[in-house]
Each structure stands twice: as C-alpha cells, then as structure tokens.
Amino acid sequence: MIPLKIAIADDQKIFRKGLTAIVNDIKEFDLVFETGNGFDLLHQLSSKKPDVIIIDIRLPGMNDLKMLDHIKANFENIKILMLSAVDESQYVIKVMKAGANGYLLKNSEPEEIILAIHEVHEKGFYFNKHLSVTLIKELLVQPPATIGSKEAMLNDREIDILKLICEESTNIEIAKKLFLSVRTVEGYRTKLFEKIGSKKIAGLVIYAVKNGIIHV
C-alpha cells in the first residue's frame, strides 16, 4: 500500500510536534513536511504534493480563506483538514464553504485525527457529529441562491447515489451497494455536482435536506 502523504501547518510548535508524532506513528502515513507559516506552506507545496494538509485555522503568514482559495485553485487534489483551538461555528462554516474538506478541534483524540485524515482522503470530507448539525442548521436558514441553487431534475439512480453520499459512503462502498462499477459511480457523482450547481459535498447535503431527499 502506498502511504498517504501528509503535511502539517501549525504555528504552535509543541502542538505541531505532537501532531507530527501521531502521524509518524501510523505506518500508512508519510509526513512530507511540517511548517508554522502560511507563506512557507505555499512555497513547499510547489515542490511537495501531499495528499492531505492539516492546517491551523489561524495560521500566520496569510489570510486563511485566501490560502484555501489558492490551494484549491492550484492543487485541487489536495484535501484540507482545518484545526482550531476553539469551537467557532460561524468561522467553521466560512472555511467549509471556502473549500476545506474537514474540521477538527485541537483537543480531539488521536484516534479521531487519524480517522479524519483517512475520511477526507477517501470520501472528500470529514464531519464530526457537532459539525454536521452546525453546518446543516446554518446553511438551511440561508437564501436558496447561496448553495445548490440550480433547478435539478434527478433520476432515481442519482437520488440513490446522493442519499449514499450524504451517508458518507465512499465511491467503492456505493458501487458495492448498488452493484455498479466505481468508475460509473464517479461519473454519477460528477453529474450530481453539475446538476445541483455545487463544487462541494456540503452543497449536495444541503440540497438533499432542502428537497426532502434526506431528513435530519
């Protein structure tokens, strides 16, 4: 198995070293670099391409939303897992809508950090239970035009796949459940993003909730 390449960006050295130790202790992870500065993070990305970056939400050196935009625009395959010392619901919503793939509190247990890394890589996102509720409640009260606003006519198969995506199933898991090839599922997923008019999983989830496809 090819190990997942991980990068860590956090200005708190003690915490960064602790996170480094957690990553280095997992055989299927390969730490490609660590840094405490946003500018250095972007510089290192030009030569080193991690699969997952773990980033402090208040990383010095660059506005976090601009940094997210830059990474997503130039390294679209890299998954971003944001970290915060406090539970800032409004700020969490901002970074998730800006393209972050997941969010964790810094007091998370090592097991949850490891799970989150795997999930953002395999599924494209990681929501803990609190974030799922916060995200859905926040986005449900916004005007329809803000997310997934296109008039989408979904067929039965697309609805089945959308439901499984909302249940956090991977493409492989969806393929097995629906007796499809993984490539076919990938095609359906791409089509769902196009039809619903969202580039992010959050958009699919909110569309499904607003249209009664799933219930929370």
| Strand spans (E) along 36-174 | 52-56, 79-84, 102-105
Residues 43-91: tens digit of each pLDDT: 999 888 899 999 988 888 777 678 888 888 888 889 999 888 776 666 7
Contact by Cβ (8 Å): 67, 98: no
| Count, residues in the chain | 216
DSSP state of 62: S
Half-sphere exposure of 4 (CA within 13 A, CB side): 25
Residues 166-210: tens digit of each pLDDT: 877 888 999 999 999 999 999 999 999 888 887 777 778 778 877
* pLDDT (0 to 100) of residue 149: 42
* pLDDT (0 to 100) of residue 142: 54
* pLDDT (0 to 100) of residue 41: 92
The strand pairing partners of 83, in sequence order, are 56, 104
Q: Is the pLDDT of residue 5 over 90?
A: yes
Architecture of domain 4-138: 3-Layer(aba) Sandwich (3.40)
Q: What is the CATH number of domain 145-210?
A: 1.10.10.10
**Rounded CA separation 26/29 (Å):** 6
Q: What is the mean pLDDT of residues 92-113?
A: 82
Q: Please give the share of the chain, as a percent, with pLDDT higher than 90.
A: 41
Q: What is the largest CA-CA distance in the chain?
A: 51
Task: With cut-offs at 50, 70 and 90, classify the pLDDT of residue 144.
Answer: very low
Q: Please give the share of the chain, as a percent, with pLDDT higher than 70.
A: 82
Domain residue ranges in the chain: 4-138, 145-210
Q: Is the pLDDT of residue 147 over 50?
A: no
Order the strands of the 29-35 sheet from edge to edge.
29-35, 4-9, 52-56, 79-84, 102-105
**Rounded CA separation 213/196 (Å):** 13
Q: Is 27 exposed, middle or buried (0-12, 13-18, 19+ CB in 10 A)?
A: exposed
* pLDDT (0 to 100) of residue 215: 67
